[in-house]
Amino acid sequence: MKNMLKYTILSLGITACITSCQKVIDINLKKAEQRYIVDALITDEQGYNFVTISRSKPFNENNSFERIYDATVWIKDLQDNISYPMTIGTFTTRYTNTALTARTGNSYELYVVIREDTLTAVCTVPETKVELDSIKIELSEFSRFLGRDIYVGVPVYKDPPGRGNYYLLRSYLNGLNTLSASYDSDEFIDGQVNKSPIFFRNINREDSVAEFNNGDTLSVELFCIAKPVYEFYFTLGQNSSAALSNPANPRSNVYGKNVIGVFNAATVSRKSIIADY
């Protein structure tokens, strides 16, 4: 399982997107233009969806970005011909729609208008939903190198036979996002039960691994995603040293002028466990 570092910008979260909607963006960081950064997720759980839109700043300023709150955003179910306006609520900074529930096998179109600019993406929810069965607590194989017992959580789910399944996992330690979103494919686990553990990172220290202690609560979300979404996270992870506002060369399935990002239509399941060892 490949673990994403702090700069893999789009957590969440988080889909069998149409393969033709992929593109590789080559970026010269020294002369990088300002660009839109889109993070969009819809799931088969009603109301669990969001769209965030940001604008990067010039590379010579700093590695930060600014949120955009005045865009017109909606998502359309291309099979049922239903459009869902996405709006920003009173207590959120993300565009959402509480009535939207993604259906397996259906394709969805993301449409964003920001002044004179239009951004679009199309994504299809996987037809097969893989459920997260449980979470196991195991002694890490790294304990012997550290000279003390280190425990990890292992999300238990069985990959269906047949290649072409892709996964995204988000983990929360004591209710906090551990910034250890992981992406995986069934290339090496086709038809098998996952045995890869979850590794945590300290939220406040990029180079520090967070401990999973007795009594801690671990929550995991398993998203079934599509190959284009997997490739976005994979290529973003390969360039994890790039700054958030100027990620280098991830594959994007969002189209438009000076835009990079991902539209992820996925199924989701979740489990929690309290460490007791």
Res 143: pLDDT: 83
Contact indicator for 179, 203 with CB cutoff of 8 Å? yes
215: which residues sit within 8 A by CB, 6+ positions away? Answer: 274, 275, 276
| Low-confidence residues in the chain, pLDDT < 50 | 3-27, 29-30, 202-208, 241-245
> How many CB atoms lie under 10 A from the CB of residue 80?
10
* Amino acid (1-letter code) at residue 125: V
In a domain, 101, yes or no: yes
The Cα 36–Cα 54 span in angstroms is: 6
In a domain, 218, yes or no: yes
Instruction: Report strand pairing: 72-77 vs 107-114.
Output: antiparallel
By residue count, the chain amounts to 277
The Cα 17–Cα 102 span in angstroms is: 13
DSSP helix/strand/coil, 81: coil
In a domain, 2, yes or no: no
**pTM for the structure as a whole:** 0.82
In a domain, 217, yes or no: yes
| Residue 134 per-residue DSSP state | E
Res 200: pLDDT: 63
Res 57: pLDDT: 75
In a domain, 199, yes or no: yes
Contact indicator for 107, 244 with CB cutoff of 8 Å? no
Domain that holds residue 224: 7-274
**Structure tokens of 50?**
């969001």
Per DSSP, the residues of 101-130 read: ---TT-EEEEEEEETTEEEEEEEE--SSPP
pLDDT in tens, 178-221: 656 789 999 999 999 999 998 765 444 444 456 778 899 999 99
Res 178: pLDDT: 64
The Cα 96–Cα 63 span in angstroms is: 27
- Report the alpha-carbon angle 225-138-171, nearest 5: 35
Domain count, the chain: 1
In a domain, 1, yes or no: no
Instruction: Report strand pairing: 251-252 vs 117-124.
Output: unpaired
Cα-Cα-Cα-Cα dihedral sign, residues 168, 172, 173, 178: positive
| Residue 29 per-residue DSSP state | G
pLDDT in tens, 45-64: 999 999 999 998 765 566 56
Res 58: pLDDT: 67
